[in-house]
Amino acid sequence: MSIEFIGIWVALFVVYSIAVRIAAGRHHQQGGLFAIIFVTSILFRAALLLGSGFDHTTPSVFLYAPSPLTAWVAGGELGLTTERVVAIACDLGALALAPSLLRAARVPLGAAVIHGWNPLVITEVAGSGRIEVVAFMLFLLSLRLIQKGSRWPAAIVYGVSLGGPLMLVASLPLVAKAVRARLVAGLGLALFGWVLVFSETTRIQLAGWPPASALGGSITPALVALANLFVTRNDTIPVAIALAAWALFVGVRAARWSDEPRIPYEALLALGSFTLVSTQVLPWAFVAFAYLGAHSTNRGWLAFTATAPMTYAAIAAGSSSFWLGFAQYFGPCALLIFFWLGSPPRAAAG
């Protein structure tokens, strides 16, 4: 990692920590507070875009799997600068959805700072041009349409968003309950994109299986290692059990869920829990959770943001260091632990 990367991350984390404490409180002028967050978020991204940039010699990957979106971008040969501009535009578009999403869920608008000032989002979007944010923006838009009761448009937009990282499929039980049979049209669009782009020989790799390494925030590699010691040497069995436990958890929550304005919170829980059991997780996967993190408004996001650079260091070192290898797991686990133990969303003032 470059000095620029470390310096920007440390500076952002300091101001981000202060901002979250201020923004999560009660404010009468919430619209003005969000305007400040939005403008400063633009300045953060512009500063990084116009700076010297990062080292991009390593190919850009997401969860060790391609997608129709990344295949389309690769085929278009847009160039890194163009990808960074497109990523910033879509990222800011997602941030612009925050006021309506947060108001519907009765969460203070200042909580949008968790997305707008998040160091992981800024560095991945403005520094690396993480094009997957196009799908994340569409995903947020589909959640907003569900909040408004616009089920047909929500189903279509959600289907298009599934052309991005496959992890978004983890929200399927939730969206299915919200839009019901209309989801068939959205899934048709998603399947068309995946079938059109990939051949039969690559489909088994789309979910990151078999895993190339144990690198990432998932606890699945640890479960597999324990199973090999005490139960079975078949790696598929503990993975299947972990995924089945996750599916049961999300299915039960989806069955009980009935508050459509709170769907971003439920989506955060579904995707976050899936990350713990998925076969491969890279740190930029947590960009999706930063987009939804405003709906939790608790300290887990600070714990995650503080430890995310250690995950990058583990990747750069190839996990040759025990402590770097251990550190990569702390961020995701701390995030979810604090997610349950931290403060619940507060009602918006006024």
CA 179 to chain centre: 22
DSSP state of 207: T
- Residue environment code for 198-209, b if the CB has 16+ CB neighbours within 10 A, otherwise e: beeeeeeeebbb
Residue type, 22: I
Counted domains in the chain? 1
DSSP state of 127: I
- Token pair for residue 51? 């700076």
Pick the closest to residue 131 from 73, 65, 190 (CA basis): 73
pLDDT band, very low/low/confident/very high, at 151 (cuts 50, 70, 90): very high
For the ranges 131-135, 239-243, 275-279, the lowest mean pLDDT is seen at 275-279
- Token pair for residue 123? 């560095």
CA 255 to chain centre: 23
Cβ of 256: how many Cβ atoms within 10 Å?
Answer: 8
Helix 151-161 to helix 133-148 angle, to the nearest 10 degrees?
Answer: 170
Give the tens place of pLDDT for each residue, 230-267: 888 887 888 888 889 999 999 999 998 888 999 999 99
- Whether the CB-CB separation of 44 and 117 falls below 8 Å is answered with yes
Residue 11 within a domain: yes
Residue 346 within a domain: no
pLDDT band, very low/low/confident/very high, at 21 (cuts 50, 70, 90): low
pLDDT for 135: 95
Helices in the chain by DSSP H: which ranges? 3-23, 30-49, 68-76, 80-96, 98-104, 113-116, 119-122, 133-148, 151-161, 172-179, 183-197, 220-230, 236-256, 263-277, 287-292, 300-317, 322-341
Residue 297 within a domain: yes
Specify the higher pLDDT residue, 258 or 224: 258
Does the structure show a pLDDT above 50 at 59? no
Residue 255 within a domain: yes
Residue 223 within a domain: yes
pLDDT for 348: 44
Residue % of the chain over a pLDDT of 70: 66
pLDDT band, very low/low/confident/very high, at 144 (cuts 50, 70, 90): very high
Does the structure show a pLDDT above 70 at 175? yes
Average pLDDT, the chain: 78
Residue 249 within a domain: yes
DSSP state of 124: I
Residue 347 within a domain: no
pTM: 0.84
Q: Range of 129's domain?
A: 3-341
Residue 349 within a domain: no
